[in-house]
Amino acid sequence: MENMIEVKNFVRKYGDFTAVDHVSFHVKNGSIFAFLGPNGAGKSSTIHTLCTITEKTSGTLLIDGKDVTKDKASVRNVIGVVFQDSTLDNKMTVEENLKMHCHFYHIPKSKMDERIEFVLSIVDLIEWKKAMVSSLSGGMKRRVEIARSLLHFPKVLFLDEPTTGLDPQTRANIWEYIIKLQQERNMTVFLTTHYMDEAEICDKVAVIDHGKIIAFDKPDVLKKKYTIDKAFITSSQPKKLEELCHYFSLEYEKNEDVFTIELTQSSDIMGLLNGHRDSIKDLEIKKGTLNDVFLEITGRDIREG
Amino acid sequence: MRIITALWLRNVKLFFRNRVQLILLLIMPFFYLYLISTIFKSVSIDDSISYVLAGIVIIVVFQTSLNIATSTIEDITSGYMKEVLVSPVKRIEIAIGQMLSSTTIATFQGILILIIGYFIGMKYSNLTTPLAIICAMISIGFVFSSFGLFLAASVKNAQTFQIISVAVTTPITFLCGVYVPLSLLPNGLQFLALLNPMTYATAFFRALSLEKLSLPTEELITEQLAFKVSNFIITPQLGMVIVSLFGLLFIVLSTLIFSKVDFTKINRAQGNKDIFQQ
């Protein structure tokens, strides 16, 4: 099956409020997909419906070819979920939490210990097996949750803001685990985030705002489409640089001796650099980020227009 | 079966881990026993200690099963339920696991009190009596566990739930003859007590543990173990049938409601923000 997740015309209303408004997208088998958007954009509503715990208002949602509203049991068997807020049983130990999960997913009793060791080794928490969940730090709890969601080897892993509130070190580690697993097990990963750098490593990104998908593509393509690269040049001969800019017909802004030049492609500046080689005191080229994409699409200009 | 066992074990484990609660639960009944046995002496009940103790045992079974059935749900809605709900576990398995664990804990407490009660004068002439007592505790515990589960699953809002749970449990607790003899109640409340299933559960349990089930009706009525409604007499045995019917109704209702309820709408956590409505 090529598409692990298929969503067509999905609508979710809470009373009069439309949280998700005719959203359609698909996620290829084995890829990492990110939902990018501000709080209240409809990310969690979509994840909850895909995870079978809230009902859709209308539309079709398929996971692994199965309808999430009609065939809940089969969908639940193939998904692993890490929610935005902790769903660990605080009054139990790490091991007890993981064992409960094994029971829920009918993992054979003979394989339970082996699996628990395996997932705990992925997140480096083997020594914490007997620890009470309530005694763990926020980052460790998150790692336990990720370990737990992997126990039954899901085909699709849902991560609802998996690293929010964690320190950069823990975030980096968690990402390392996720990517490793995704590659080893050909798992499909669906995540929501508002960290732009996390969205960058995904295969495809959907930018969602006010319940609508406003952009859906590869991060590179989005960046190319919605952002421009910028070169910052500090010159010892500003006059000459100005002339060169005119010659190559490049848009620029000048602030004392620092030039900000907008580029459609980074290579556009090669000619200018060659001609100005001896007078460049400092050069920096900035690529557009998904952050810029987001600003560009959801910025005030677009809303007003 | 595996899931029900796992959920059952989890709740039982949680109960035993809370040592302070365990000790308090054991001490409180004897405080009440001391307090009320004097009241019951005044309404011509001989052997008032055993009479009161039997009542206390069954009210503890009632309270515990109701509390655990309702609080486990709360505990689970705090976040853990989401983990259960996205797993292939069936709703009915969760419901049964909850009811069985609260029944187990309630029965366990009843037995503990009875063991201590044995040393302060509760004796049985027949060996089958203790066994019958345990069976009665299990069935009464199960009846009120399902009732508790029904309450917990049908009320969505935290504050409303507290009010309702007090509004329901208080009359059941005080109008069943355990703390206050029914004959001392005003007429209107006596009538209400007759609508209370706990009244019959108490009467049956007392008659059973005092080995008075076979007493003549007249004596049962003076001992407040049988009730006369105009010309109709409700014997302890008939009372137990009423309790069982009540239980059956709520077992069906609670499993139905529990299977249908949208847990995303139940908001028992602190704060008003519904985590699902992002």
CATH topology of domain A3-218: Rossmann fold (3.40.50)
CA–CA distance, A276 with A274 (Å, rounded to integer): 6
Average pLDDT over residues A150-166: 86
Query: pLDDT digit string (tens) for B146-161?
Result: 998 888 888 777 678 7
pLDDT at A148 over 90: yes
CA–CA distance, B40 with B45 (Å, rounded to integer): 6
pLDDT of the residue at A201: 84
State whether ipTM is beyond 0.90: no
pLDDT of the residue at A303: 31
Query: pLDDT digit string (tens) for A69-95?
Result: 888 889 999 999 998 888 898 889 999
Using a CB-CB cut-off of 8 Å, the residues of chain B touching A79 are 86
Cβ <8 Å between A53 and B263: yes
pLDDT at A301 over 50: no
pLDDT at B165 over 90: no
Higher pLDDT, B123 or B166: B166
Could you tell me whether strands A79-82 and A156-160 are parallel, antiparallel, or unpaired per DSSP bridges? Answer: parallel
Query: pLDDT digit string (tens) for A172-198?
Result: 887 888 888 788 888 999 988 777 778
pLDDT of the residue at B264: 64
Q: Where in chain A is the domain with CATH 3.30.70.260?
A: 228-287
Amino acid in position B86: V
Using a CB-CB cut-off of 8 Å, the residues of chain B touching A81 are 82, 86
Helix A219-226 with A290-298: angle, nearest 10 deg: 50
By Cβ distance, the residue of B83, B276, B277 closest to A87 is B83
CA–CA distance, B156 with B146 (Å, rounded to integer): 17
Query: pLDDT digit string (tens) for A216-227?
Result: 889 888 888 888
Tell me which of A56-60, A204-208, A232-236, B56-60 is least confident.
A232-236
Average pLDDT in chain A: 85
The domain ranges of chain B are 2-263
Cβ <8 Å between B14 and A105: no
Cβ <8 Å between B278 and A103: no
pLDDT of the residue at A135: 93
Percent of chain A with pLDDT over 70: 97
Query: Which uninterrupted H or E stretch holds B87?
Result: none
Q: Which residue carries 């406003």 as its tokens?
A: A214
By Cβ distance, the residue of A14, A51, A87 closest to B277 is A14
Percent of chain B with pLDDT over 90: 22
Compute the nearest-CA separation of B273 from chain A (Å): 12
Using a CB-CB cut-off of 8 Å, the residues of chain A touching B15 are none
Using a CB-CB cut-off of 8 Å, the residues of chain B touching A54 are 262, 264, 276
Residue of B254, B278, B250 whose CA lies nearest to B264: B278
CA–CA distance, A275 with B231 (Å, rounded to integer): 115
Average pLDDT in chain B: 83
| pLDDT level of residue A114 (50, 70, 90 thresholds) | very high
By Cβ distance, the residue of B6, B17, B79 closest to A85 is B79
CA–CA distance, B167 with B187 (Å, rounded to integer): 21
Structure-block tokens of residue B205: 């349990």
CA–CA distance, B256 with B261 (Å, rounded to integer): 9
Using DSSP, state whether B178 is helix, strand or coil.
Answer: coil
pLDDT of the residue at A110: 94
Higher pLDDT, B73 or B112: B112
pLDDT of the residue at B35: 80
Cβ <8 Å between B276 and A96: no
Cβ <8 Å between B86 and A53: yes
CA distances from residue A278 to A100, A144, A256, B104, B122 in whole angstroms, order as listed = 69, 56, 19, 86, 106
Using DSSP, state whether B228 is helix, strand or coil.
Answer: strand
Using a CB-CB cut-off of 8 Å, the residues of chain B touching A94 are none
Average pLDDT over residues A18-32: 91
Identify the residue among B78, B80, B81 best suited for mutation to test binding to A, counting A beta carbons within 10 A and taking the highest. Answer: B80
Cβ–Cβ under 8 Å, residues A244 and A229: no
Using DSSP, state whether B223 is helix, strand or coil.
Answer: coil
Cβ <8 Å between B264 and A48: yes
Structure-block tokens of residue A140: 């460790």
pLDDT of the residue at B179: 83
By Cβ distance, the residue of A92, A99, A104 closest to B88 is A104
Cβ–Cβ under 8 Å, residues A134 and A91: yes
| pLDDT level of residue B72 (50, 70, 90 thresholds) | low
In this structure, chain B runs to a length of: 278
CB count in 10 Å sphere of residue B155? 18
Cβ–Cβ under 8 Å, residues A56 and A10: yes
pLDDT of the residue at B73: 62
CA–CA distance, A71 with B229 (Å, rounded to integer): 53
Concatenating the DSSP letter of every residue in chain A gives --EEEEEEEEEEEETTEEEEEEEEEEEETT-EEEEE--TTSSHHHHHHHHTTSS--SEEEEEETTEETTT-HHHHHHHEEEE-SS--S-TTSBHHHHHHHHHHHTT--HHHHHHHHHHHHHHTT-GGGTTSBGGGS-HHHHHHHHHHHHHTT--SEEEEESTTTT--HHHHHHHHHHHHHHHHHHT-EEEEEES-HHHHHTSSEEEEEETTEEEEEE-HHHHHHHH--EEEEEEES-HHHHHHHHHHTT--EEEETTEEEEEESSGGGGHHHHHHHGGGEEEEEEE---HHHHHHHHHSHHHHH-
Chain A contacts to B (CB-CB under 8 A) = 14, 19, 39-40, 42-45, 48, 51-55, 73, 76-77, 79, 81, 83-89, 91-92, 96, 99-101, 103-106, 148
* CA torsion, ordered A105, A116, B6, A72, to nearest 10 deg: -20
| pLDDT level of residue A27 (50, 70, 90 thresholds) | very high
Cα angle A224, A228, A231 (rounded to 5 degrees) comes to 130
Query: pLDDT digit string (tens) for B172-226?
Result: 988 988 888 888 888 889 888 999 999 999 999 999 988 888 888 888 888 888 8
CA distances from residue A275 to A242, A264, A266, B250 in whole angstroms, order as listed = 12, 19, 16, 87
Question: Is B89 in the A-facing interface, judged by CB distances under 8 Å?
Answer: yes
| pLDDT level of residue A97 (50, 70, 90 thresholds) | very high
What class does CATH assign to A228-287? Answer: alpha beta
Query: pLDDT digit string (tens) for B99-122?
Result: 899 999 999 999 988 888 888 777
| pLDDT level of residue B272 (50, 70, 90 thresholds) | very low
CA–CA distance, A95 with A116 (Å, rounded to integer): 8
CB count in 10 Å sphere of residue A24? 14
Using a CB-CB cut-off of 8 Å, the residues of chain A touching B277 are 14, 19, 45
pLDDT of the residue at B142: 93
pLDDT at B271 over 50: no
Question: Is B22 in the A-facing interface, judged by CB distances under 8 Å?
Answer: no
pLDDT at A236 over 70: yes
Query: pLDDT digit string (tens) for B223-253?
Result: 888 888 888 888 889 999 999 999 999 989 9
pLDDT of the residue at B143: 93
pLDDT of the residue at A24: 92
Its pTM stands at: 0.79
Q: Which residues contact A148 (CB under 8 A, 6 or more apart)?
A: A88, A97, A98, A101, A119, B83
